[in-house]
Structures are given as C-alpha cells and as structure tokens.
C-alpha cells in the first residue's frame, strides 16, 4: 500500500511498499524507495520525503518526488554523452528504472563557490576542506578560483563525513586509478551542468555525484543536478549582490536548512525538529516546482495523487513485462 499523508491543504507521498515480480530486495533511503529486480535492475521511486542534516523530516513535500525524478531524468539524458549512466527509462513521473551497480562508498561533491558547508567551514577559521587548500580573503558565495572536489564518505546510517582524496586512496575505499576516473567524470559533469544552468539564467554553485560499477564499467548513478543534490544561484544580479554584501537569490534545499538552523535544529543529539506548518510545507513545494521550471525550461505538470498507486504500479509492470 502507498502511505498517502494528507494535510489541510495538500496530499503527498511519504512511502511505498510494493512487491514487484522477481523482486529480490527493497531499500528505503532518505528520499527514494529502491526495489531490486533480479540481479540487474533497480526500480527507484522518488517519494515526497525531505531530509536535512541527514534526518528525514516528519512532513512530506507535495510534488517534491516528481520534481526530483523528472529533473534527474532530464539531466541524465542531457549528460549521457559526457558520462555513461545507469538510467534505462522513466516510465512514470516518480520512477526511474536503471541498471544495478556496485556503488563506490564515496560521494563526489564538487564546488564552484564558497557556499553552504564550505562557507561554514571557512568562516570557522579553517582554510583546508577535504585536503583542499582555500585562499584567504574570500566572502560567502564568492566564486572559487577553480572548482574543487570535496568528497564525503557514503554512510548507510547517520552522517556522511568529509574525507580527502589521499585518505580515500590510503584506506583503499577507491583505488587511485579508479578515483582518478571519478575525478575526471565529476569535473566533466559539473562543466556540462554549468553550461545547462547558464542557458537557463542560473549558476550551478555546487553538486554531488554518485558512481558505481557494472560489468567493469564506471557509471553515474542516482540523481543528478536536482535541488536535493545541487545548489543554484540566479545568474542575473549575482555580481551586484556580491559587491553589496547581499545574500544571493538561490534555488536549492539550503533555504530549508537555514529555516531549521533558525529554529535551533541541525540534526544534533537532543535537538527536536521544529513543527512544519501547512503554509510552510506548501511554500517549500512551490520552491521545488519553481526550480524544476527554471532548470529544465519546461512547465511543471502536477500529477494526481488520487490514482498514484495504480498509475505507478501499472507503469512499472508494463516496463518489466516488456523486458522479459
């Protein structure tokens, strides 16, 4: 059954629990419900759950899953000539089906600007992030001299942790040869993402990529260039806002983190998630939809949740039947 969480003003998809033919495993991530089909396929359902500081928040955000899935599908197609990826098809607005890969246990974070976690680290007085030296005299949201890769460990539970290139190789998490390929792919994807964003009047500030291996080939996995994995600024007015010391106008999940911080929550032990009102939940939904339309240049078409169970199940079953 689909768990549909209904509030006064909205309906949102909080979780799924399907049993597909030849299903061999099920994994519930922070946002996505992942179904293994046999040994070679994954059915990834994007729910409307939202996480921040590695904590899943108690309220779901209407249409967030559709936004994430459709942006990711759009971007996977747009970058497939740059880096091979796991996607086979997206038979439903909330679903992507692709190849199952053996994931690398690192997330490749790349930053072109001093924002978010990088800025918080810099502001604390540190001038090194994940083994990468940062120059003196930078302000929040300044463009870095060149994009930097600041990887994190990929934790199955709890918080991902910053780690350096040297430590990844020293610990044998990834071999030096393969890590060099991951770096090359990360820079190429960020460059392509930057070009796509610029064409839409946006700046791709930072993002993260996940990679895996299938039949000896390294593939890009999971989502790409979505508001959950990336941060965007509006290009127009960026320079003037920097010169005036003003905050940048951005499209990302950072505004949710900022709201939580303002309400004394950063995912630390003993802290309580602040109550999310219907008004706030709907405002977050509107921001996600705005980002979809700005990033893709397409009009967002809201799906009807009343038939979500039948719609998605039928779409997945139709795809799986064709693959037989």
Which pLDDT does position 103 carry in this prediction? 95
Give the chain's residues under pLDDT 70.
1-10, 155-159, 324
Note the pLDDT of residue 157.
57
Whether the model pTM is above 0.75:
yes
User: What is the predicted pLDDT for the residue at 4?
Assistant: 41
Q: Is the dihedral of CA 62, 271, 55, 27 positive or negative?
A: negative
- For 127, phi then psi, to 5°, come to -120, 15
Q: What is the pLDDT of residue 2?
A: 37
- Domains in the chain (CATH in brackets) are 3-101+297-323 (3.30.200.20), 103-256 (3.30.470.20)
Give the tens place of pLDDT for each residue, 40-52: 999 999 999 999 8
DSSP 160-181: --B--HHHHHHTTSS-HHHHHH
Strands 41-46 and 95-99: antiparallel
Note the pLDDT of residue 5: 42
pLDDT attached to residue 228:
82
**The pLDDT of residue 156:** 60
User: What is the distance between the alpha carbons of residues 138 and 123, in angstroms, rounded to a whole number?
Assistant: 10
Residues 278-324 have pLDDT tens digits of 999 999 999 889 889 999 999 999 988 877 878 889 999 999 988 76
The pLDDT value recorded for residue 155 is 66
DSSP 17-76: ----TTEEEEEE-SSEEEEEETTTEEEEEE-S--EETTEE-SS--TTHHHHHHHHHHHHH
Distance of alpha carbon 24 from alpha carbon 98, whole angstroms: 15
């Amino acid at each position: 059954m689909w768990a549909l969480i209904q509030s006064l003003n909205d309906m949102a998809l909080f979780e799924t629990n399907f049993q597909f033919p030849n299903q061999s495993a099920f994994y519930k991530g922070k946002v996505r419900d992942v179904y293994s089909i046999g040994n070679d396929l994954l059915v990834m359902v994007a729910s409307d759950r939202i996480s921040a500081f590695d904590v899943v928040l108690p309220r779901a955000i209407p249409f967030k899953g559709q936004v994430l899935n459709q942006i990711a599908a759009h971007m996977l197609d747009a970058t497939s000539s740059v880096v091979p990826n796991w996607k086979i098809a997206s038979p439903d607005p909330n679903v992507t089906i692709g190849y199952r890969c053996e994931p690398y246990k690192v997330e490749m974070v790349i930053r072109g600007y001093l924002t978010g976690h990088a800025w918080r680290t810099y502001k604390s007085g540190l001038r090194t992030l994940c083994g990468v030296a940062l120059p003196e005299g930078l302000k929040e949201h300044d463009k870095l001299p060149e994009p930097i890769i600041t990887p994190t460990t990929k934790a199955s539970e709890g918080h991902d942790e910053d780690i350096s290139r040297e430590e990844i190789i020293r610990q044998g998490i990834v071999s030096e040869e393969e890590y060099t390929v991951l770096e090359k792919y990360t820079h190429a994807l960020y460059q392509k993402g930057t070009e796509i964003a610029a064409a839409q009047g946006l700046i791709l500030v930072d993002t993260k990529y996940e990679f895996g291996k299938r039949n000896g080939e390294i593939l890009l996995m999971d989502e790409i260039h979505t508001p959950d994995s990336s941060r965007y600024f509006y290009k127009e007015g960026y320079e003037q806002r920097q010169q005036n010391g003003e905050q940048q106008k951005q499209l990302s999940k950072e505004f949710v983190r900022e709201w939580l911080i303002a309400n004394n929550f950063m995912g630390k032990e003993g802290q309580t998630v602040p109550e999310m009102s219907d008004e706030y939940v709907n405002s977050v939904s509107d921001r996600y939809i705005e980002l979809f339309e700005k990033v893709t240049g397409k009009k967002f078409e809201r799906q009807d949740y009343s038939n979500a169970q039948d719609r998605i199940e039928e779409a997945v079953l139709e795809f799986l039947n064709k693959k037989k």
